[in-house]
Amino acid sequence: MLKQTRVIILHRMPYSDSSLIVKGFCFDFGVLSFLVKSAKSKNSPFKASLDPLSESEIVFNDSGKSDLHFIREASLIDWFPNLRKNLEKTAMAEVIAEILLRYLPAGLSQELDFRYTEKAFQILDRSENFQDVLARWLWHIADCEGYALNFSECIRCGTPISQIPADFSFESGGSICANCLGVFRPHYSPEFLQDIAHLVFRLPLQNPRQIEEEFFKYLKSHLGENREIKSYHWLQEVRNYAFCNTNS
């Protein structure tokens, strides 16, 4: 049966001298694997449409007998060229791709996850204000996968929290009000707690990397996969290298 969908290409690997296996995140079917015959040929009709970190429209054959599908047609929607010119942007996109490959189920529609991923790639490609993209994407993905945190009310007493929480607990699932915190010291700094509020109200984050790291650990623990995300280490190395060059 032929099916048509939009797909963000996450990864590809050689299958033979002329063919490739491509893993993509599909709007309608989640993460799927595809066999692309003669993809390495200079006359291949696919060309850049199946490059990693690109978005394309594909038609593929789903026989229902295998997890490996055959792509029949592919047309490029967006190659995200500016994303590829910036090493930190590319590394952030690679982290997103690896998390999707690791955690998302195959065969199930993940429409919201796809839209948030597409939006993240568009911001990385078209904006210079991209530093909080990964933090916000992790927040949205946690929500989409059923691990949403409570920002709007205290997780202990239910009191509405309209501004900055007195503390925050990833382990317990959300914000803590001043009355429930009592005489105890908060786990997080005032800057971090302000960033939590800024996430909700879509305001700029002061330290997106700390938010990013906490959501990253939260998502890993709840999805039951504790292996390291290699691209995240690469992202940190890229940032450290850029910082060292700026201060040299």
Dist. CA 211–CA 197, nearest whole Å: 11
Q: Are 150 and 175 in contact (CB under 8 A)?
A: yes
CATH architecture of 81-248: Up-down Bundle (1.20)
Q: What is the helix (H) or strand (E) element at residue 201, kind and residue range?
A: helix 190-201
Dist. CA 69–CA 90, nearest whole Å: 27
- What pTM was computed for the model? 0.91
pLDDT digits 0-9 by tens, 60-112: 998 777 889 999 999 999 999 999 999 999 999 999 999 999 887 777 778 99
What region, left, alpha or beta, does residue 30 occupy, with left being phi > 0 and alpha being psi -120 to 50 degrees? Answer: left
3-state DSSP call for residue 121? helix
The answer as to CATH 3.60.15.10 being correct for domain 1-79 is no
Q: Are 25 and 110 in contact (CB under 8 A)?
A: yes
Same fold across 1-79 and 81-248:
no
Q: What is the helix (H) or strand (E) element at residue 146, kind and residue range?
A: none
The domain limits of the chain are 1-79, 81-248
Q: What is the helix (H) or strand (E) element at residue 21, kind and residue range?
A: strand 20-26
- Residue 86: alpha-carbon gap to chain centroid: 18
| Beta pairing, strands 20-26 & 30-36 | antiparallel
Average pLDDT per block of 10 residues along the chain, 248 residues long: 95 88 94 86 81 96 84 94 96 96 79 96 96 95 89 95 94 94 96 94 93 89 74 93 65
